Every structure is written in C-alpha cells, then in structure tokens.
Amino acid sequence: MGYSLSSTLISSDELKKRVRDIASEISREYHGQELVVVGILKGAVFFLSDLVREFTQDLKVTIDFMAVSSYGDSTKTSGIVRIVKDLDTHIGGKNVLIVEDIVDTGLTLSYLVKLLKERSPRSVRVCVLLDKTERRVVEVPLDFKGFEIPDRFVVGYGLDCAGLWRNLPDIMTVDQEENP
C-alpha cells in the first residue's frame, strides 16, 4: 500500500496568519512573565519556530524539546507513549507551554501533560496547531489552538507520513493507494 499527496487543506498563508494570532493570544496571557516552551519532536518544530518569533519582546522565553514515540504503524496511535528524549531543563516553578503539531486521540498529549505536572511547574498549558476533534478518545484541555480539521491524515508544515513530507509549506491531505 502506498501513499500520495491529495489536496491542500491549509495554505502557508493561512498558517502564517493563524500562527500570528495565536502568538498574540499567548503574549497577552504571559505578559512580562517567564515561559518555557516545550516542543514535541519532530512534528512541532516548524510550528514552534514560527510561533515563538511572533511573541512580543516582553516575554522571557526559553525553549526545550521532548521526543515521544507511540508504538504503532505510521498512521495510527496505539496509546502507549514512550519518552525517547526528555527535557534538558528543570521546570519546577515555571510556566510551561507544550507545543504540539496535532491532537488526534489525545493520548499523547494527556500523557505528556500528566508527566510534566508531576514536576511541580507553576502552570502547564497546551498549544496545538491542528485538532482532529472527531477522533478524541481522552479529554485534553487545549488552551491555544490553530485549526479544527476533519478526520483525514495530513502532512506538511512539520507533519509526516512515515517520515516524509514534513518540509511541505502547506498542510496537505494524503491518499492511500491499494496498488501504488
């Protein structure tokens, strides 16, 4: 079974505008405060790097990364989350903002929120670019959100299909072909 690109769901222009809006929301929320931005590798890298550059200058921003892997195939989440790379920094007493590319079942994010809350931060909030609402299995509070999207597998702007297509400037849907 092969995969091929289908059509553009969100253009780079739309992404740029929405990222700017979310960045101003976040800037207002954390006005003048310290903020540890935690990106979830690798999908959130493009979103995070665009987002933090749009923050107002009064925010005292540091950046850290975590890598997780969920056991499963390339298009489905199994629900079991393994920490592949943990944070380099201590988050005790800090405001933490988890930045993730997409929330699907919610299993990855709910696990991460729980894990980071155990480290006594001042606050933990979640910023996600894409939300596949129909697929939610566990509730996870999304404090800042880019777009709600239908139940379609998407790639681009950091999102991948078996490692490919992260570099696309737009968010695109993927088709599965029986006989590639």
Q: Which residues here bind ligand IMP, judged by CB under 6 A? A: 43, 77, 100-109, 153-155, 159
Contact between 11 and 170 under an 8 Å Cβ cutoff? The reply is yes
Nearer to Mg ion, 43 or 156 (CB): 43
Bridge partners (DSSP) listed for residue 128? 100, 145
* Least distance in angstroms from the C-beta of 32 to ligand IMP: 31
Going from the C-alpha of 41 to that of each of 82, 85, 177, 178, the distances in angstroms are 13, 9, 28, 30
Which is catalytic among the residues 64, 86, 101, 104? 104
- The sheet with strand 171-177 has its strands ordered as 2-10, 171-177, 154-155
Query: Which residue shows structure tokens 């489905």?
Result: 76
**CB nearer to ligand IMP: pick between 59 and 171:** 171
CB 60, min distance to ligand IMP, A? 27
Q: Closest approach of Cβ 56 to ligand IMP, in Å?
A: 28
Nearer to ligand IMP, 95 or 108 (CB): 108
CB nearer ligand IMP, residue 24 or residue 167: 167
How far the first Cα of the chain sits from its last, in Å, is: 6
Q: 104 catalytic, yes or no?
A: yes
The yes or no reply on residue 43 touching Mg ion (CB under 5 A) is yes
Identify which range of 41-49, 55-63, 113-121, 169-177 contacts Mg ion by CB under 5 A. 41-49
Cα–Cα distances in Å, from 27 out to 35, 90, 93, 118? 10, 22, 19, 25
Q: How many CA atoms lie within 13 A of 37 on its CB side?
A: 27
CB of 69 to Mg ion, least distance (A): 9
Catalytic residue numbers?
104
